[in-house]
C-alpha cells in the first residue's frame, strides 16, 4: 500500500525498515543503476544537472584536501580537478558506482568506499567537502552532518547540491513529471523503474531549503546559506566549520 500523505512509497520500505535494511536496499538501488546512472541523469534533467554541478564546483575554494562525498561516478570530482584542485577523494558506499567512473577518473582522483555516517578520515583532515544528490540517501542524516563537521578542518567549507522544494507555481507541473515520467524513464533506459521510484520518493523525504539550513545550524555549522537553482527544483547549501582564521 502506498502512503502519499508525504509523498512516501512505504511499499519500498522507506519509512518502516530498520536502518541496516534501508542501507542495504539503497546500496542495491545504486548497484542496479550504476552502468547508466549518468545517462539517466541527463535524460531526467534534460542535461541541466550538469549546469548545477558546474555552479557548485565554481563556488568552492579548490586548494587543499577536498572530499566529494557520495561522489558516485566522479562527475563532480572531475569538475573540481579540472578547476584546479590538486587531488580529490571520491567517497561513496557503492563500489559499482565508483567502478563505473574509474576509467574516466585520471590520476588526481582517489576512491574510497565508505558511508556518510562513518567516514574513515581523521578529525579536521579535510579543507572542503562536497556532496551532490547523495545526502538524502544517508540512513541517519544528523549523524552524517556530524561526521562531515568532524572531518572538516576549522574554517573548512561544506557545499551540498540537492533537490529541494520548487516554487509553488511550478509544483503542479513538476510533481506529475517526477512521480510518473521519471520511473518510466527508469524502466525504458535503465530497466530499473523501482529504483527510480525510490529516488523520487527520497527527494520528497529530504528537508526543504529552510529545513535543511536549520539542520546545518543545529549541527554546529556557521555561515549557512542557500541558493535556489531552476526555481527551487535544486538548491546549493553552503556552510563552514567554525574556528577558521578571522
Provide the pLDDT for residue 159: 97
In this prediction, residue 105 carries a pLDDT of 73
The answer to whether the beta carbons of residues 234 and 240 sit under 8 Å apart is no
Q: Over the range 161-173, which residues count as b (16 or more CB within 10 Å of their CB) and which as e?
A: bbbbbbeeeeeee
Question: Which of the 8 DSSP states describes residue 72?
Answer: T
Task: Identify the CATH number of the domain defined by range 18-240.
Answer: 3.40.50.150
- Specify the pLDDT at position 134: 87
pLDDT at residue 16 in the model: 43
Query: What Cα–Cα distance (Å) separates residue 72 from each residue in 17, 110, 210, 231, 237?
Result: 24, 12, 27, 26, 20
Helix (H) or strand (E) run with residue 223 in it: strand 222-229
CB-based burial label for 120 (10 Å; 0-12, 13-18, 19+)? exposed
Model pLDDT, residue 238: 97
Nearest-angstrom CA–CA distance, 171 and 115 = 32
Tens digit of pLDDT at every position of the chain (246 positions): 233 323 323 322 333 445 565 566 666 666 666 666 677 777 777 889 999 999 999 988 788 899 999 998 999 999 999 888 878 999 998 888 898 888 887 778 999 999 999 999 999 999 999 999 889 888 899 999 999 999 999 999 999 999 899 999 999 988 888 777 776 776 676 666 666 666 677 778 899 999 999 999 999 999 999 999 999 999 999 999 998 665
Question: Alpha-carbon distance 165 to 220, whole Å?
Answer: 24
Question: Residue 199 in contact with residue 138, Cβ under 8 Å?
Answer: no
CA dihedral 48, 212, 116, 41 (to 10 degrees): -20
**Distance between CA atoms of residues 101 and 186, nearest Å:** 20
Amino acid at each position: 500500500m502506498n502512503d502519499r500523505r508525504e509523498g512516501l512509497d512505504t511499499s519500498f520500505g522507506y519509512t518502516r525498515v530498520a536502518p541496516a535494511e534501508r542501507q542495504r536496499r539503497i546500496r542495491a538501488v545504486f548497484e542496479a543503476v550504476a552502468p547508466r546512472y549518468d545517462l539517466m541523469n541527463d535524460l531526467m534533467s534534460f542535461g541541466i544537472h550538469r549546469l548545477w554541478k558546474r555552479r557548485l564546483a565554481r563556488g568552492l575554494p579548490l586548494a587543499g584536501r577536498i572530499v566529494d562525498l557520495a561522489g558516485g561516478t566522479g562527475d563532480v570530482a572531475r569538475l573540481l580537478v579540472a578547476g584546479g584542485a590538486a587531488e580529490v577523494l571520491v567517497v561513496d558506499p557503492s563500489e559499482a558506482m565508483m567502478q563505473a567512473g574509474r576509467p574516466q577518473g585520471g590520476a588526481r582522483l582517489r576512491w574510497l568506499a565508505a558511508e556518510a555516517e562513518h567516514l574513515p578520515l581523521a578529525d579536521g583532515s579535510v579543507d572542503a567537502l562536497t556532496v551532490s544528490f547523495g545526502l538524502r540517501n544517508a540512513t541517519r542524516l544528523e549523524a552524517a552532518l556530524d561526521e562531515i563537521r568532524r572531518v572538516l578542518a576549522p574554517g573548512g567549507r561544506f557545499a551540498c547540491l540537492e533537490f529541494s522544494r520548487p516554487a509553488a507555481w511550478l509544483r503542479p507541473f513538476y510533481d506529475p513529471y517526477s512521480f510518473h515520467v521519471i520511473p518510466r524513464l527508469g524502466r525504458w533506459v535503465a530497466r530499473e523503474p523501482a529504483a527510480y521510484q525510490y529516488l523520487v520518493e527520497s527527494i520528497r523525504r529530504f528537508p526543504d531549503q529552510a529545513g535543511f539550513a536549520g539542520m546545518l545550524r543545529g549541527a554546529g555549522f556557521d555561515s549557512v546559506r542557500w541558493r535556489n537553482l531552476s526555481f527551487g527544483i535544486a538548491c546549493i547549501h553552503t556552510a563552514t566549520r567554525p574556528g577558521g582564521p578571522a
